[in-house]
Amino acid sequence: MDYQTIIVEEKNAVGYLTFNRPKQLNSFNESMHQEVSSVLKRWAKDAAIRAVVISAEGRGFCAGQDLNDRVVDPNADAPDLGLSIEKYYNPLIKLITEMPKPVICAVNGVAAGAGANIALACDIVVAAKSASFIQAFCRLGLVPDSGGTWFLPRLVGRAQAMGLAMLGDKISAERALQLGMIWQVVEDEQLKAEAEKMAEHLATQPTYGLSLIKKAIHAAADNNLDEQLILERDLQRLAGRSSDYREGVQAFMQKRTPQYKGC
């Protein structure tokens, strides 16, 4: 399939989705939303894809919404910013968080606004040393969207979340790592290889089990301990029926490397 705004590659059971509007710092317009969503929807169902990597071309990761796509004439009627969020950003965040396989984000440069929060919605975030994160919304009188106000306090705690969202300062990848916002920082030239290595590893792992882990950790944000313990019992019950669990136990007993099929 032909894409105008993204690059799509499938290799060794890994789906690579690369934002490709480098001149606009990979900011989202409508066609990019449509292309990203169609690829993610397909991979969500495709059992042959067992891990997803989201990254970007050029020096930036994603600058969020392309403001050229929005009416900014100060004399015009107030725009309805809820529309594009309802139609595009919210479904995109759900596609990532509900994807039944690991989603790795390789942040190669500046991740601003919705771009930062799309990265935070991914399961494991690896950033290049020169990458940075900005909750730019407050500077325009807006609110962090794409799950920002949900992810931030859960990732870094309320005090840091408030500071990040109200001051809108650019923070370095190292700082993001210190705050617990992301998983790993690597040298710029190592980023691609690190993300690929991690994805290829995850793509050989028990995908179904990983999807249940993801489900449990997301549910934990809303559950109390009692509810979560019940959910863990339920998910373990399901996991215990998978062929990968059988294979894992057998391989352990036979002292060999397990061959997981992802189901």
Partner 1 sequence: MELMKTELIKTSSPKAGVVLIELNRPEKRNALNNATLKAIADTLQILDSDIEVKTVVITGNTQCFAAGADLNELAQLDVVSIQQDQRPLLWKRIDEFSKPLIMAVNGYAFGAGFELALHGDIVMTGDNAQFALPEIGLGMLPGAGGTQRLARLVGQQLCMRWAMTGEVISAQTALQHGITSQVCPADLTVQYAVELAAKIAKQAPLAIRVIKQSLKSIHEVSLSQGLKLERQHFVWLAATQDRQEGINAFLEKRKPEFKGA
Least distance in Å: CB of 8 to partner 1?
28
3-state DSSP assignment of residue 120: helix
For the chain, give the number of residues: 263
Least distance in Å: CB of 236 to partner 1?
11
Stretch that binds partner 1, among 11-19, 83-91, 193-201, 234-242 (CB under 8 A): 234-242
Q: Which residues have a Cβ under 8 Å from the Cβ of 66 and sit 6 or more positions away? A: 21, 24, 27, 28, 29
Q: Is 234 near partner 1 (CB under 8 A)?
A: yes
Least distance in Å: CB of 212 to partner 1?
9
Q: Is 98 near partner 1 (CB under 8 A)?
A: no
Q: Looking at 23, 45, 237, 256, which residue binds partner 1 (CB under 8 A)? A: 237
Q: Is 238 near partner 1 (CB under 8 A)?
A: yes
**Among candidates 30, 4, 29, which has minimal Cα distance to 18?**
4
Q: Looking at 213, 235, 247, 251, which residue binds partner 1 (CB under 8 A)? A: 235
Residues in contact with partner 1, counted by CB under 8 A, come to a total of: 4
Instruction: Tell me the pairing of strands 51-56 and 14-19.
Output: parallel
Of 138 and 235, which CB lies nearer to partner 1 in the complex structure?
235
**Among candidates 122, 55, 113, 65, which has minimal Cα distance to 88?**
65
Stretch that binds partner 1, among 58-66, 88-96, 134-142, 231-239 (CB under 8 A): 231-239
Instruction: Tell me the pairing of strands 51-56 and 124-128.
Output: unpaired
Compute the distance between CA of residue 124 and CA of residue 213 in angstroms, rounded to an integer.
13
Residues of this chain that interact with partner 1 (CB under 8 A) are 234-235, 237-238
